[in-house]
């Protein structure tokens, strides 16, 4: 029986398998180290953020309390000189939309809206020119020559 002569300096299949396993083990070790670093950074982040979140919650709670005190605005806007109703910031738009919603089939001129809300027609026209143009709920219908006058109604889907 003759034993084959192999070159001892050349790695055999077992040596190659061990080399692959060593490389695999190195990658597993590297993965574990990175996971530990990430976990420690996350814990440090939580420790730093938690007090800030608690402080933010306290400030929001105080804001809500102060807002509740400010929300005690009277239902009816105060009467202005000459019997007209003056609307505060944002109240005119809300009143106009409520009027349009309550009469969805009717088309209004700014003067008709002003009469219904007991305010000046110029205030209503200015509101439409400044804010009503961008409002998605309000449909603006041009009438008359040159399309410079408009009727207003509420959109059906909005």
pLDDT by residue, tens only, the chain of 158 residues: 555 556 667 878 888 888 888 888 898 999 999 999 999 999 999 999 999 999 999 998 888 888 777 765 555 555 545 677 888 767 888 888 888 888 888 888 889 988 988 888 888 888 888 887 888 888 888 887 877 788 888 887 64
Q: Residue 99 belongs to what domain range?
A: 81-154
Q: What is the DSSP string of 94-151?
A: HHHHHHHHH-TT--B-HHHHHHHHTS-HHHHHHHIIIIITT-TTEEEEEESGGG-EEE
Residues 57 and 91 occupy one common structural domain: no
Entry pTM: 0.46
> Does residue 1 lie within any of the structural domains?
no
Q: At what angle do helices 110-117 and 91-102 cross, to 10 degrees?
A: 100
Read off the tokens for 71: 């929300």
> Does residue 29 lie within any of the structural domains?
yes
Helix (H) or strand (E) holding 152: strand 149-154
């Amino acid at each position: 029986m003759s034993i084959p002569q192999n070159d001892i300096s050349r790695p055999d299949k077992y040596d190659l398998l061990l080399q692959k396993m060593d490389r695999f083990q190195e990658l597993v070790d590297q993965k574990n180290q990175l996971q530990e670093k990430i976990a420690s950074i996350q814990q440090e982040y939580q420790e730093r953020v938690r007090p800030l979140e608690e402080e933010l919650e306290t400030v929001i709670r105080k804001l809500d309390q102060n807002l509740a005190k400010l929300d005690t605005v009277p239902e009816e806007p105060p009467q202005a000189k000459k019997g007209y109703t003056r609307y505060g910031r944002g109240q005119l738009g809300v009143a106009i939309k409520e009027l349009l919603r309550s009469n969805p089939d009717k088309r209004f001129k700014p003067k008709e809206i002003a009469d219904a809300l007991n305010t000046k027609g110029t205030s209503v026209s200015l509101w439409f020119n400044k804010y009503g143009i961008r409002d998605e709920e309000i449909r603006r219908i041009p009438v008359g020559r040159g399309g410079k006058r408009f009727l207003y109604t509420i959109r059906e889907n909005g």
